[in-house]
Structure 1
Amino acid sequence: MKISRTIGGFRLDRVLLGLLLVGCALLAGRAWLQDHPEHNPWSPLNLADPPGWATSRKLAALHGDPAECRAVLERSGVEFAQLEPAGEGACRRESRVRLGDSPFGSDAPISSCAVAAGVVYWLRHSVEPAAQELLGSPVRRVEHYGTYSCRRMYNRDDGPWSEHATGNAIDIAGFVLEDGRRVSVLRDWPGEGQNSAFLHRVRDGACSAFSTVLSPEYNAAHADHLHLDQQGRAWGFCR
């Protein structure tokens, strides 16, 4: 039997045409992913890349891979110091880094590398754009309540250990702008002003950078800060 020269004349022609179209689509998709690494789950994470479909999963994966996390910081041009492990038992901190040139200044906290990476990404892609757009000034300093506290959740005598026990969380209290204004979670979260809008915007932005985000909307224990941690879940909890 001779194959027809007319495309679609026989079933075999249609199969070959279908395979050709699929192959073209795959090649085009591969080229598109190469040009958009923020959407490519196989592309190495760079914190300078814009937010994408794969970013949150890549950030979450850093929790279990400190070496790759440090490579991400280096690849992204982030200044940081790697510190020796510390602590014992449930409060053993294998991953300890301190960010260098950051709005924390001399008060830069020591945290897990995964938290540091999340903070850098959050500041670049959420906090700074929101400050410029809603408040008309860049952020000069980020105020925080620390990262490490060897304790169980809510300081109970038993139950799950807090992510703070391993420095895998940070509590953000507020922001100081270049023009001197201060935005406080405790004071400014309620209401409908620009400061409140800014805090809600950066809370929402943190949800793509951290595994867990807890704000004053969660409970009274978080009335004065945003709790950000990196438990490593692919799909986080944000409230």
Structure 2
Amino acid sequence: MTFNARLARRKPQVGAAGRDRWVVAAIAILFMPAAVLAESRTPLPQPRPAIGPASDGSDSKHAVAPVTSLAPPAPSACRLALTDAVAIAPSIPAITGPGACGGADLVRLEAVVLPDRTRVPVKPAATLRCTMASAIADWVRADIAPLAERLGSRFSELDNFDSFECRGRNRVAGAKLSEHGHANALDVRSVRMSNGRTITLTDRNVPRELREKLLNSVCARFTTVLGPGSDGYHEDHIHLDLAERRNGYRICQWKIDDPMPEVAPLLPPERPAEASLRETAEEKNEKHKLQEGASERAAAASGAVSQASGDPPQLPAAVPIPQKRPFSGTRSGKVAEDKKPSSSASMPSTRLSAARSAKRKHKPRLDLPPFLRPLFN
């Protein structure tokens, strides 16, 4: 009789014969080969191999290769050039979305280091692409710092009005994505000096020559410059970016306005002190009355002289009075029948009576009822 694990798992029968079978089955299980027992069990997963360096050549078959982590990307040429000797700009992770916002190779521009190792902080720190941060650092080091020295001071702070922001142009809903959304733009409102002076780039009171120098410097370094007079959205700051366009097209729109005049141009200019005094209406009337009084006194004096000499006083020449035009015998543009001249004085009235009688005689009679005819005869 062949014994196996299936027979061994059967329930033992009651009685002597059943006990004997149970004893025999137990003995068979004790002496059953290990291979048979292994086939009857549920297979278990293989143990996880140990992670570590490979062993020496004695057990190369079971050696485990080391696990290597993903290496960070190699730094860009801009990142290698933007060292701590140029700017304090640590790298930050790339920004992705929403939409097309964000970018790679980003830095946080905290300060610009001048050639004399002086740090000019950017407040607040600007999130920019490395190329844009490098252009800002070069502009500050090569243009702004020497300009501040010529003004008798030192450049101490750069005012960051806006840097990275995921939005449309001019914050208009639905507009094309701004370069601020690509971390490729910076808005500058003012720069500060160590003597406490703040130069606002769009202030009319800043000397025109200084603002023109700033205009020439930014337009030579950046592909887009927008300021007062560009589109109405940049009247209080200057927008700078490095947008790439076809054929290297650049935009530089910054109108340098003159200072506001102290006197409004619509008002008349002040009268010079050396000019003659103006006569008022009252003074003119008074002067005219004096002249009339003088003429009257002169006329009275001349009359008194003529009376003293015995000659009659000379009266002023009378103004001729226009005469009425004599009646020509016409009425309402109609000429009387007899137009021949007459020497009689009553000719006009006679001709008028004759015309009236002729008009009455030749008046057409109306076809009226008999009871109405007396009214029109």
Normalised by the shorter chain, which TM-score bucket? 0.5 to 0.7
Q: Kindly name which structure, 1 or 2, has the bigger radius of gyration based on alpha carbons.
A: 2
5 Å-filtered alignment, 1:36-55, equals none
Paired residue total: 169
Q: Give me the whole-angstrom Cα distance separating, in 2, the residues matched to 1:75 and 1:150.
A: 28
Q: Does 1:117 align with 2:173?
A: no
Go from structure 1 to structure 2 and tell me whether the alpha carbon gap of 1:104 and 1:137 turns closer, same or farther (over 3 Å shift): same
Deviates more, 1:103-112 or 1:173-182: 103-112
Residue type of the alignment partner of 1:126: D
State the partner residue of 1:83.
Answer: 92
List runs of 5+ in structure 1 lacking aligned partners. Answer: 1-65
Deviation of 1:178 after TM superposition, in Å, equals: 0.5
Partner of residue 73, structure 1: 82
Higher relative contact order (CA 8 A, sep 6+): 1
Aligned residue in 1 for 2:178: 162
Aligned pair in 2 of structure 1 residues 74, 163: CA closer, same or farther (>3 Å)? same
Q: Note the alpha carbon deviations across 1:186-230, whole angstroms, 9 max, x for none.
A: 4x2x25x43x43233122201222111112132321111110001
CA offset digits 1:109-130 (Å, max 9, x no partner): 1111111011011111211122
**Matches of 1:116 and 1:124 in 2, distance apart?**
12
Q: Is the CA contact (8 Å cut-off) linking 1:185 and 1:223 kept in structure 2?
A: no
| Alpha-carbon distance in 2 for matches of 1:159, 1:136 | 44
If the length of structure 2 is used for normalisation, what is the TM-score? 0.41
Aligned counterpart, 1:53: none
Structure with greater helix share of residues: 1
- Structure 2 unaligned runs (5+)? 1-74, 113-119, 254-377
1:76 to partner: Cα distance: 6.6
**Is the Cα contact below 8 Å between 2:108 and 2:126 reproduced in 1?**
yes
Residue 161 of structure 1 aligns to a residue whose secondary structure is coil
Q: Name the SS for the 1:200 alignment partner.
A: helix
Query: What per-residue deviation string (whole Å, max 9, x for no partner) do you get for residues 154-205 of structure 1?
Result: 222223210001211000010111100111134x2x25x43x4323312220
Counting only pairs closer than 5 Å after superposition, residues 96-175 of structure 1 correspond to structure 2 as: 96-102=106-112, 103-105=120-122, 107-133=124-150, 135-175=151-191
**Structure 1 counterpart of 2:193:** 177
- Conserved 8 A contact 2:184-2:241: yes
Following the alignment from structure 1 to structure 2, what is the Cα–Cα distance between the partners of residues 76 and 230?
Answer: 23
**CA gap 1:235/1:129 in 2 versus in 1, 3 angstroms:** farther
- Per-residue CA shift, 1:71-110, capped at 9, x if unaligned? 2313974332010012412112223102344223562211
Distance 1:236 1:225 in 2: 19
Q: Name the structure 1 match of 2:244.
A: 232
TM-score, with length taken from structure 1: 0.63
User: 1:126 touches 1:206 (CA, 8 Å); kept in 2?
Assistant: no
